[in-house]
Structures are given as C-alpha cells and as structure tokens.
Amino acid sequence: MTAHFAAICGRPEAIARVAATVADQSEVEICEVSPGIFLLVNDPTSVHILPEQCGVIIGTLFHRYGPPEAVHSLGSADSSAIVATGGELLLQRFWGSYVAIFSTNRGLMVLRDPSGTMPCHYIIRQDMVVLGSDPELLLNIASLRPEVDTRGLLHSIAFLGLPSERTALDGVNDLLPGMSIRVQDNDVVVEVRWNPWDFVAIAQGEDAQENIVQLRRRIEYCISSWASVYDRGLAAVSGGLDSSIVAACLAKTGALQACLTLVTNDPLGDERPYSGLLAEHLHVPIAEEYYSIEDIDLDRSSVSHRARPFGRLDALAYDAAAVRTANSLGSTAIFSGNGGDNVFYLSHSARGWADRYLAEGISWGLVETARNICQVTGANLLQLLRHGIQAVRLADKPYKWVPDTAFLSGDAIAALVDHEITHPWLRTPPNGSLPGKAAHVAMLMRMQHSIEGYAERAGVPVIHPLVSQPILELCLAIPTWQQCSGGRDRAIARSAFAGALPASLIERRNKGSPQGFAFEAFRHFRANIRERLMDGWLIENRILDKQTVEAALEPDVRHDSRAMLRLSLLVDTEAWINQWRHRAKDAATTAPDFDAPGLSPTIRAG
C-alpha cells in the first residue's frame, strides 16, 4: 500500500479545532502525534512516532547498513539522534521513501527524502502548516478553493522538468526532494539538506572496476530492500537496459511474479523479442498488453492528482494496461526502471570529455574518452573537440535551463524574461563545476516530476528502485567519462550486470519506443484536440498563441515528434485545469479558521 498522509501542525488550540472538524467531515481517524502535530494517514504501518511526542516519520525506511528489509520500529537512540541532528541522521544512516516532521528548539522542521518518491506539498497559514502527499486533501483541510496559479502554470509548461517550490495551484507549495522547511515565529525557510554536489567531489578518480562492483552491490541491495515490502512484484520491462536490471534483481530475490511488456501497432513499439528473451532468461512468465485508444479520455489528465500538469495522452493507456495486469495477477506493486537513464547518465554529449580534461588535463585517457564519445555519438573528432572545448569554457557558469516556448503567446514569452530560474542544485559549487556532472545533476532534477507523479496508479504502488538514495550517491561519484567506456552509454551499469542478463540485452544500443502509439492517438483525437485547445483556458488566458495553435492543428499539417508531444502535453494540461476547476465548484467557499494571510517562504541553502 502506498502511504498517503496529511499533517496539521502549529499552535495547539488552533489545529485541534481544525483536526476535529476534519475528523467529523471525513470520518478519518486522526492521530495526535503531539499537541502541535495531528496526523491523518491511510496506512498505520507507515508511521514511525518519535519519542517524547516530538515528531513522526511517514513512509518506508531502510537502514543503510542493516539487512535489506524495511525498518518496522526505530530504536530510542536513533529516534533521539534524528531529532537532535535536525534529521541529519536520517540522511546519513537511513534511506527510503519518507517525509519526517518534528519539533526542534528552532521550530517545526519538515524533511523530505532525496529520492522524491514520497510527494510532500504544504500550505502555510497563520498559526498553522498543512502538509500532505495529496494536494486535494490539503486544500480540503485548509477549506481553500483549488484555484489555478497562472504564473505557476506557465512555469510548468515552459520549464517542464525544472522543480519549483511554486506549483500550478494557488497557495500550494512543493517541498522538493532532499530539502526541508523550518517554520518559526512567522518565518518560513527552505533549506537544502541533501546536495548532489557533495557526492560528486568524493572520488572522481575512483577505479572503474571498483565502481562496477559497488554499483551492482548497491542496486541489488536496494531492490532486495524494496522486495521485502512488496513481495509479489510485476516488472514493467521495455526491452532496454534499466528495466531489465530491475527485473533481474527482483527475480534474484524471489519476489518477481511476472514481466509486463506493452506493445504498439507500430513495429517500433513492439519489444516482445527482447522482453521475451529477458523473461525466458529469468524463468518467469511474461504478460503482453497492447496500448489501446479506448483507454484515453481527453477529459481526464494522467496527472490530475498532482499540483502541476506534465502528462500526455499515451500515459493513460499505459497506466490502464499496467493496472489491469497487476490486478489480474494480484501483484503488490509494479516495479519500473524509470529514472535509470538519468541516474546512470545516458548522455550523447562531449561533456564527459570536458570533465576528464578539467580533472586530469592532457592525458592518454583524454584521447581514449574522445574515441569513446565519438563511438557513442557518431560525431567526428573535430565536432567532439569543438563542443568539448566550449563546455570547458563554460564550466564556471551555472547550468543553463532553456525554456520551451513552442506555441506560447508573446505575452507568455515576455513574462518568462523576468521569470527567475532558480534551484540550489543548479548553482555552480564553490570549487568549480564539471560540465558533465552539472548536466548529470540537471538530469536527476528532470526525472523528479515523473517519479513523484507516478508513485501509484489506481491504487497500485509503482516502485522506482533505481532512484534510491544509495544508488544516486554512488552514481554521482562515478566520473562521467567512465559511463562511456568502450564506446557504450551507461557503461558502468552495463558492465555491472554483464553476467546477470543476456549479452544481446547488455550490448543493445538502440531501443524501441511507444511513440508510434502517441502519433496514432494524436491523429485519432486531432479534431477534438483542436477544439479543446482553441476553446480552452490556455488560449483564453493568453498562455498560448491562438494563431500558432490553429495553424499547427490544420488537418494536412504533419508534425515531428517534438511538436506532437508538445501538443499532447498542452491538451492534457487543459484536462488538468478543467478537473481542478470542477473540484473548485464543489469546494467550500468559506474558511473561518484561515482568515489571516499566509506566509511567504524564502529559500536559503543549508
């Protein structure tokens, strides 16, 4: 079961009234963690109460140095140390999918784990902080109407994948992975508690063979740990490296029920030869499901449960097929290889060469890396040097996150000029940056919205074990140039599992894609997409340019994949907006307990 929670924190007399009202209206049992913290949670086994009523940890915890199984109870020494260190002990000795809430002598502290698999939104009001995994539940508790935040929505569309505290729902903030908020005396501070750059500097010169050994050990350990919680796993496999690694490790634990592969009518999306080979190798059955147009509903966003839009049409079909299979098998969870490309640094750029030059200077190793990158990218030596030297020259500049302005109106694009692109992880570290590692950190950021948004589908938990904290930290420490060794992308991961997977899967360079189905769905719904966008909220509120959208959706216009996926995102965004506006009509219009204005959080790097 996936943990869903809400917490009401603040002045005891104020939050006690709200907690009692919520309990009466929703028939939800509320746990009083302390006079200043009330908790609602769907799964009591996911709750770890800290000593002396000082706080609570919600979610799944594993001990970094213990056996591969979930922590069911925290010892008094660990519990006290977690509070005494402001949660630092959690980051150093534990990992998992959790949110920690506790009182300190510096005020209320809330910490979210670095993997980002446990969502955590918050609403700040006078005398009160409402936290939770589900934005609709938070808004209900706060008696607030769910209103679309136009500026937050524009950020979501233009900077897709860039994490932000501000969501597309007015008043709802995100606590980002690896960060904490501290609330004291009408002051709210967001602090960085887990910084990826702290791990980049650990061992850039580490021996590649040692990294191979350590990566396999950590992945097997993390997946064994998750298998101890979900012992009947369905592995969603795509015929590629990452999902195959997850399936192989899950099979080793004995928790793999079956593999699942989804098939499109387009041969490019038929991965059955490779996924079937994997299932045969692992001695498990494989379920084959087709993507179906019938599972797509333009009135329903694939991420209507989240506080910002980022879905697309084919996601609904994938979810429906995966959930049907999981339910038919009685699976306790779907295991995914999602995030593997980001964690293992699948890159087709010259940044790995730039990293090695900055780390070692001119060397024979630099020549070897140039040859490897040319093999991976297909570029010639002059092209590599041109791009590599440019990356070296820009190494002391922060990573540049480029907005996608396709189909945006002139007003929207003008608004982006003054829109600050900020995230503590994007800042250049004090000792200088490695361009490849800056891109690696950005890749980890890009995956967060997907990891958070797909933590559960229709009540079935979805586990993304490759984004577990111990794996993230090791991969950040592996030099980027090692990840292209032998002219192969994700080379360390390939070598780590060379003995556990068929050679044809390990050495596979190209992979199929469900993009053919995405095009099929786009063509099928084209007229409806045109109608919904032309008459929709985004054009009415001058987010999109009407003439550009109208021209793009003429019947005879052919699109490349980028334009098609962009339009798919926009029509899913219209569905997201309409679903939240519909909820607003049903929401309470008065909020007697929340008459005072909220507080404005400020960011400070910790």
Residue 600, pLDDT > 90, answer no
Indicate the burial class of 540 (C-beta count within 10 angstroms; 0-12, 13-18, 19 or more). exposed
- For 466-504, the pLDDT digits (tens) are 999 999 999 999 999 999 999 999 999 999 999 899 999
Whether the pLDDT of residue 603 is over 50: the answer is no
**pLDDT score at 201:** 66
User: Helices 435-446 & 469-477, crossing angle to 10 degrees?
Assistant: 160
Beta bridge partners of 148: 169
Q: How confident is the model at residue 593 (pLDDT cuts 50, 70, 90)?
A: very low
Quote the pLDDT of residue 1.
67
pLDDT digits (tens, 9 = 90+) for 229-253: 999 999 999 989 999 999 999 999 9
Residue for token digits 């839009």? Answer: 309
Task: Flag whether pLDDT at 599 surpasses 60.
Answer: no
Pick the closest to residue 567 from 523, 513, 529 (CA basis).
529
Question: Which tokens is 222 given?
Answer: 């993390």
Read off the pLDDT of each residue in 72-97 and give the average, rounded to a whole number. 90
Helix H or strand E encompassing 515: helix 515-524
Q: What is the dihedral of CA 100, 106, 107, 113, to 10 degrees?
A: -20
pLDDT at 448: 92
- pLDDT at 33 > cutoff 50: yes
pLDDT score of 590: 38
Task: Give the angle subtended at the CA of 254 by the CAs of 345 and 275, to the nearest 5°.
Answer: 50
Does the pLDDT of residue 277 top 80, yes or no?
yes
Q: How confident is the model at residue 75 (pLDDT cuts 50, 70, 90)?
A: confident
Question: What is the DSSP code string of 351-362?
Answer: HHHHHHHHHH-S
- CB-based burial label for 305 (10 Å; 0-12, 13-18, 19+): middle
State both tokens at 450: 């997907």
Stronger pLDDT, 597 or 138, i.e. the higher one: 138
What's the DSSP call for residue 398? Answer: P
Q: Which residue has the tokens 């609330």?
A: 183
* Separation in Å, CA 57 to CA 37, 88, 103, 118, 536: 12, 13, 12, 12, 42
| Percent helix / strand / coil, the chain, rounded to 5 | 45, 15, 35
Closest to 426 (Cα-Cα) out of 227, 172, 161, 130: 161
Query: Is the per-residue pLDDT at 205 higher than 70?
Result: no
User: For the residues of 50-101, what is the DSSP string, one character each?
Assistant: PGGG-EEEEEEEEETTS-SSB--S--HHHHHHHHHTTTHHHHHHEEEEEEEE
Mean pLDDT, range 14-25, rounded to an integer: 75
Q: Among 513, 487, 225, which Cα is nearest to 379's? A: 487
pTM: 0.93
Percent of the chain topping pLDDT 90? 64
**What mean pLDDT is reported for the chain?**
89
How far is it, in rounded angstroms, from Cα 247 to Cα 233? Answer: 9
Give just the sign of the alpha carbon dihedral 541, 544, 546, 549: negative
pLDDT band at 204 (very low <50, low <70, confident <90, very high): low
> b/e map of 550-584 (b: 16 or more CB within 10 Å)?
eebbeeeeebeeeebbbbbbbbbbbbbbbbbeebb
